[in-house]
Structure 1
């Protein structure tokens, strides 16, 4: 049994829920014993104690948060360090209008810590091609792409009746509401031309300053699945910048798991998640967004067909079991080759 201590972010963070928590009940099936421990709530002496005792485990799995150089170096000397990340911490967030604070993505401190942990890691699990390319500058032999996963539904999603109002949906945190402005003209044009179309957003607050009328549903863990069932089309607009190119297309996985066709910006991991013209559409301009919306809103048979293909692609590539099996294989191969010799 491979013993792993996982140092992670706060439990309410999506990064923790979908890159750590959802796998925990199943690791022993793969010969792995993983113990989660929240690192962000610990004092300096507590972190130092954890680092000094890290040799009690075969691996320490550091999830997203790069630690200080001291803690990183102690852990890397004592055991095998795994670094897992799903955001472009080396880039400034698309929506940030001020200089990032030292602990925020794109700051000098964050980049220095990130680069060090990448160099010191025995394994790097990167959530997208862009993140993998960045990590490979520092650790080319031990970097692997591990997409963010999502648990398949207990029962297959049922297609919605085709004569109902067509709902286009977006789900995400409040910071990412910024990206809705990138498709506002296209969405407003569709809303004006197709009175039976509606736009629904599930988030911490309603979007502001947009021409498009968005119906707001406050996010809750309990209500998320029902909301995903209720929409007909799922969307993920992004900026074509360094921050967005590092994103892991998680919204799309949520829509796909519920059998929804998707429309997404032709950026980063979206390009892999969307089979253009088959499971949905990739768009690089307002004109392309409007055309994709029009095709799906006006053609119920095409919506249903693309939704089926979307679900198929999810199950073959992003479903929890598929992703966890890949991680387990990498871990066991590395353990056989390296861990015995420590």
Structure 2
């Protein structure tokens, strides 16, 4: 079986890296040849780091049309593949003409979403049209599934997962784990620069705790945060170091504001923390409430007081950190691991290819309208 996957970015982008690139060895092992065509590459992320807004705009004007033209050439050269998977959309902000042509040519199409793109400017009308014409929709959580079900009868929930053979606990004890109260306790946050503002949620709790505990906040990102009064250790994100940057931390945090956009997130950083065996504290928003059972494999915190109390309990007790870290690791291995979901994604691709509802090159049987499948 052959799958052609049109991703948003190369493997440097976290969404594409975790939704498809990490699955490639698994898919090959399942007998599926998957060819990935990224829309944007590393140059795009370099443009985003340019300080001058005018310079960024000019660079995008030069870069984006060339990448669109490249994607057009890829579409023209398509062969009769078993399945085409589109991450989000083929051409951002443009009408779904290319997708309609593919449908008219009777290709089997699946559209994949791992965030609430339908809330962004220019997509509140486009995404319903895309979901309606797709043979199947693959989403990262139940919130996105609820939206997709309004337009598609075939919705499949495949959560974002991590490679638990790569994200593993550190063998020796990180700082603050030996019971020596003089050693720094490292609270870590990893993410994209446009999400740095979520750190304001826990900033008051960190400032208060710093008066009593040797806490530092490690930020793993493309740029440092602006958090006056907080001891910040900035580490530029690097693919080769991201596991190590988490392993030697003491506590992982995922603060969020309770918005419709945040409810559509898939909890990647939370899974990364838990996979390396460090305890996690997160806002009870969206999928976070499914991943964490409060007080057992992590903590959920809504208010400033709750953030303070949860972090303080973990600061006081290295034993509690170890216990929760071990419980979190078990959760990821048992429910959100790449080894578990690789075969399931392969099975899903085969199912969509065989039973898609658009006709395709062979007859396909559509399941009952409104149905939704979650694997398992």
Give TM-score scaled by structure 2 length: 0.81
3-state SS in 1 of match to 2:125: helix
Q: Which residue of 2 aligns with 1:58?
A: 82
Q: Which residue of 1 aligns with 2:5?
A: 6
Deviations 1:83-137 (A, max 9, x none): 111111122xxxxxxxxxxxxxx11x22222221111111111112211111111
Distance in 1 (alpha carbons) for counterparts of 2:229 and 2:133: 48
Are 1:88 and 2:124 matched, yes or no?
no
The answer (yes or no) to whether the contact 1:183–1:237 under 8 Å persists in 2 is: yes
Are 1:130 and 2:158 matched, yes or no?
no
Distance in 1 (alpha carbons) for counterparts of 2:334 and 2:345: 15
The answer (yes or no) to whether the contact 1:7–1:38 under 8 Å persists in 2 is: yes
Distance 1:156 1:217, change over 3 A: closer
- For 1:3-82, list aligned pairs within 5 A: 3-11=2-10, 12-40=12-40, 46-52=70-76, 54=78, 56-67=80-91, 68-77=95-104, 78-82=106-110
The answer (yes or no) to whether the contact 1:256–1:311 under 8 Å persists in 2 is: yes
Give TM-score scaled by structure 1 length: 0.89
Q: Which runs of 5+ in 1 are unaligned?
A: 92-105
Q: Which residue of 2 aligns with 1:249?
A: 267
Distance in 1 (alpha carbons) for counterparts of 2:350 and 2:86: 18
> 1:53 offset after TM fit, Å?
5.0
The answer (yes or no) to whether the contact 1:66–1:114 under 8 Å persists in 2 is: no
Larger CA deviation: 49-58 vs 318-327: 49-58
> 1:149 offset after TM fit, Å?
1.5
Deviations 1:312-331 (A, max 9, x none): 00011111121222212222
Distance 1:247 1:215, change over 3 A: same
> 1:66 offset after TM fit, Å?
4.9
Q: Which residue of 1 aligns with 2:157?
A: 145
Distance in 1 (alpha carbons) for counterparts of 2:37 and 2:338: 21
- For 1:291-310, list aligned pairs within 5 A: 291-310=309-328
Distance 1:66 1:136, change over 3 A: farther
Deviations 1:154-197 (A, max 9, x none): 56543624224321111111111100011111111111221x22
> Quick one: higher RCO (CA 8 Å, sep 6+), 1 or 2?
2
Q: Which residue of 1 aligns with 2:188?
A: 169
User: What RMSD over aligned residues (CA atoms) do the two structures have, in Å?
Assistant: 2.0
Distance 1:226 1:32, change over 3 A: same
3-state SS in 2 of match to 1:235: strand
Distance in 2 (alpha carbons) for counterparts of 1:159 and 1:269: 31
